[in-house]
Amino acid sequence: MHNTAMQRYLFAFLMFEMMRAIHTNYVPACARIIMMLIFNYSNLVDPLLKDLRAFVTNFAGIKAGDRVLDVCCGTGEQVLDYGRRGIIATGVDNDPNMLNVALKNRKRHDLLTTSFQLADAKELPFPNGYFNYASISFGLHDKPRLIRKSVVSEIKRVVKRNGIIILVDFNVPLPQNAFGLFARTIEFFAGGEHYRSFKDYLASGGLDSIVKEHGLVELNRTQLKSGLIGVIKLIND
C-alpha cells in the first residue's frame, strides 16, 4: 500500500479509538471535556473511513427497500451510507453525544429512510426477526466477553431467519506489520476495560470464535488494510 494511504488509515484508527475512549469512562471527565473541544469525531474520523462504509454496503449486497440495523453506530456514517442507497436503515448506540451528531447529519442530508435510537446493544428495542440485515463495525473487540456474547445474541434475535449479519472488526491474529503494531499501540493507550477486552478478544480468537459460538453460517469474508480488518458475511441460521 502507498505510504500516504497507510498513514491516512493509521491516523483514522488512532482517532477512532481515541474518540471512543473520550466518550466512555476510560478517560477522566475533565480530560474528556478538553479532548472533545480539540477533536471532532465526525470531522476527523468519518471522512477517513468513508470508503470502508461504502465497502460494507456493497459487500453485504443490501438493496433499496431492505431493512437493516447498524449496531453501535456511533455518528451514524454506516447508516447514512445505507440511506443514500434507499435502504431502510436504523442505527443504535448508547452514547447520546454520538447520536446527536448522527441526527444532525441525517437532517443535513435529508435521508428519510434512516433513523437513530438511543439503545443498549445487549437489549435491542426491536421484535424478533424485524430486520433483513444487521451490521456491527468495531463494536465487539472493546467489550468484555459476556457482553460480546449478549450483543451478538441480540443481533441474531432481531434479524430474520436466513437474514444476513455483517461483522467488521480486527483480524485475529493481527498482522505482523505497521497496521498490526499500530492497532496494539492505540488499544494499549485506550487502557482500562477497553484494553482488557481487546486482549481477551485476541486471545479468544476474535470474529472466528464469535461466528462459531453463535452457530452462524459464513457466506463470504475478506480482509482490508493489509490484513488489519476482517469483514464476514453470515447467514442467521
Q: What is the CATH number of the domain that holds 137?
A: 3.40.50.150
Has residue 100 been placed in a domain?
yes
**Could you tell me which residue, 50 or 8, shows the higher pLDDT?**
50
| Beta strand 114-118 pairing with 159-170 | unpaired
CB atoms under 10 Å from CB of 101, counted, come to 20
Q: For 174-225, what is each residue's pLDDT tens digit?
A: 999 988 888 888 888 878 899 999 999 999 999 999 999 999 999 999 999 8
pLDDT at 190: 79
Has residue 8 been placed in a domain?
no
pLDDT at 38: 42
Instruction: Give me the domain span that covers residue 79.
Output: 49-235
Has residue 26 been placed in a domain?
no
Task: Name, in order, each residue with C-beta under 8 angstroms of 58's C-beta and a sequence gap of 6 or more.
Answer: none
Has residue 63 been placed in a domain?
yes
pLDDT at 186: 82
Is the Cα torsion angle 17, 20, 26, 29 positive or negative in sign? positive
Give residue 120's pLDDT band: very low, low, confident or very high (50, 70, 90): very high
Calpha distance 16→181 (Å, rounded): 16
Q: For 84-103, what is each residue's pLDDT tens digit?
A: 999 999 999 999 999 999 99
> Residue holding cell 452457530?
215
Calpha distance 24→9 (Å, rounded): 23
Has residue 221 been placed in a domain?
yes
Has residue 7 been placed in a domain?
no
pLDDT at 34: 42
* DSSP states along 174-222: PPSSHHHHHHHHHHHHH-HHHHHHHHHHHHHTHHHHHHHHTTPEEEEEE
pLDDT at 4: 56
Q: What is the number of structural domains in the chain?
A: 1
Find the mean pLDDT for residues 13-19: 54
Has residue 25 been placed in a domain?
no
Has residue 157 been placed in a domain?
yes
Calpha distance 79→91 (Å, rounded): 6
